[in-house]
C-alpha cells in the first residue's frame, strides 16, 4: 500500500523572480501532526546532447555562480517558458547556446532534479542532424563552445569532471544506446 499523502493546510510565497519561486507550506502529515515545508518551484527545463556526427558532441562551458566554477563542461540546457512545447524549448536552447538546429530530437529521459524540496522536471533529448545557425545566448550567458569526441565526454562523466545532472544522465543514456 502506498504511503498516505500529506495535506497542505496553508501556503505563502516567500520569494519570487523570473526563474524561481520559493514558498513555505504548513503541511499535515499522515499522523495528524503539522510541519513547515519549504518548496523551491523552478518549473520545467530541457537539455539537448547535440551530436555533430556519430562520434562527436558539442558541449558548453560557462561560469556557474552557485559553485563558483568556470571549468566544467555541460550540454545546452535551460528553462521552459510558460506554455512553450518541450521540443520548441529544446530547439530554442540549442540555437541560443551552441548556434545549431537539429532535424531530429529524441527524448531519452524525464526526471525530478531534486525530489525533496525542488519542484522541477528535467526533459532530456539527443539531437542529430545539426545545421549551424546564429547563436543568440541569453543576456546572462557567456559561453565557450567546444566539440568533444563522445568517448571523451563519457570519460569526463565517469571521472566526475562533468557534474551537471542533466548532462550526466544524457551522456549515460547515449552511451547505453551506443552499446558502450
Let me know if residue 169 belongs to a domain: yes
Average pLDDT for 149-153: 97
| Residue 49 belongs to a domain | yes
Contact between 118 and 66 under an 8 Å Cβ cutoff? The reply is no
Mean pLDDT calculated for residue range 59-81: 88
Give the residue carrying C-alpha cell 495535506: 7
- Specify if 34 maps to a domain: no
Percent of the residues in the chain that have a pLDDT greater than 90, as a whole number? 79
Is the residue at 117 inside a domain?
A: no
Q: Is the per-residue pLDDT at 78 higher than 80?
A: yes
* Number of residues that make up the chain: 180
- Domain membership flag for residue 81: yes
Q: At what angle do helices 150-158 and 165-177 cross, to 10 degrees?
A: 120
Taking Cα atoms as reference points, which of 168, 174, 178 lies closest to residue 73?
168
Number of domains present in the structure of the chain: 1
Q: How confident is the model at residue 67 (pLDDT cuts 50, 70, 90)?
A: confident
| Per-residue pLDDT at 64 exceeds 90 | no
Q: Which residue has the higher pLDDT, 74 or 66?
A: 74
Domain residue limits at 65: 44-109+122-177
C-alpha cell at 44: 520545467
Model pLDDT, residue 115 = 87
Burial label, 105 (beta-carbon count in 10 A; 0-12, 13-18, 19+) = buried
90 in any annotated domain: yes
Predicted TM-score (pTM) above 0.85: yes
Residue 157 located in a structural domain? yes
Average pLDDT over residues 58-63: 90
Find out whether 24 and 9 touch, Cβ atoms under 8 Å.
no
Q: What's the mean pLDDT in 157-169?
A: 96
What CATH number corresponds to the domain at position 100? 3.90.79.10
Closest to 26 (Cα-Cα) out of 39, 42, 40: 39
- pLDDT value at 138 more than 80: no
122: its cell numbers? 528535467
Q: Is the pLDDT of residue 137 over 70?
A: no
b/e for 65-80, b at 16 or more Cβ within 10 A?
Answer: eeeeeeebbbbbbbbb
Residue 30 gets which letter from DSSP?
A: T
Taking CA atoms, 84 is separated from 27, 88, 90, 148, in Å, by 31, 7, 10, 30
Amino acid at each position: 500500500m502506498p504511503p498516505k499523502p500529506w495535506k497542505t493546510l496553508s501556503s505563502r510565497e516567500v520569494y519570487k523572480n523570473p526563474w524561481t519561486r520559493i514558498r513555505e507550506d504548513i503541511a499535515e502529515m499522515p499522523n495528524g501532526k503539522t510541519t513547515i515545508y519549504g518548496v523551491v518551484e523552478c518549473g520545467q527545463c530541457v537539455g539537448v546532447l547535440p551530436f555533430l556526427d556519430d562520434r562527436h558532441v558539442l558541449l558548453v562551458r560557462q561560469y556557474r555562480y552557485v559553485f563558483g566554477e568556470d571549468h566544467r563542461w555541460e550540454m545546452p540546457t535551460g528553462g521552459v517558458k510558460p506554455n512553450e512545447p518541450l521540443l520548441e524549448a529544446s530547439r530554442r536552447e540549442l540555437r541560443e547556446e551552441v548556434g545549431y538546429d537539429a532535424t531530429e530530437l529524441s527524448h531519452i529521459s524525464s526526471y525530478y532534479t531534486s525530489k525533496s524540496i525542488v519542484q522541477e522536471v528535467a526533459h532530456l533529448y539527443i539531437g542529430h542532424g545539426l545545421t549551424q545557425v546564429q547563436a543568440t545566448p541569453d543576456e546572462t550567458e557567456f559561453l565557450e563552445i567546444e566539440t568533444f569526441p563522445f568517448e571523451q565526454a563519457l570519460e569526463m562523466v565517469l571521472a566526475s569532471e562533468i557534474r551537471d545532472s542533466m548532462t550526466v544522465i544524457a551522456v549515460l543514456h547515449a552511451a547505453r544506446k551506443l552499446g558502450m
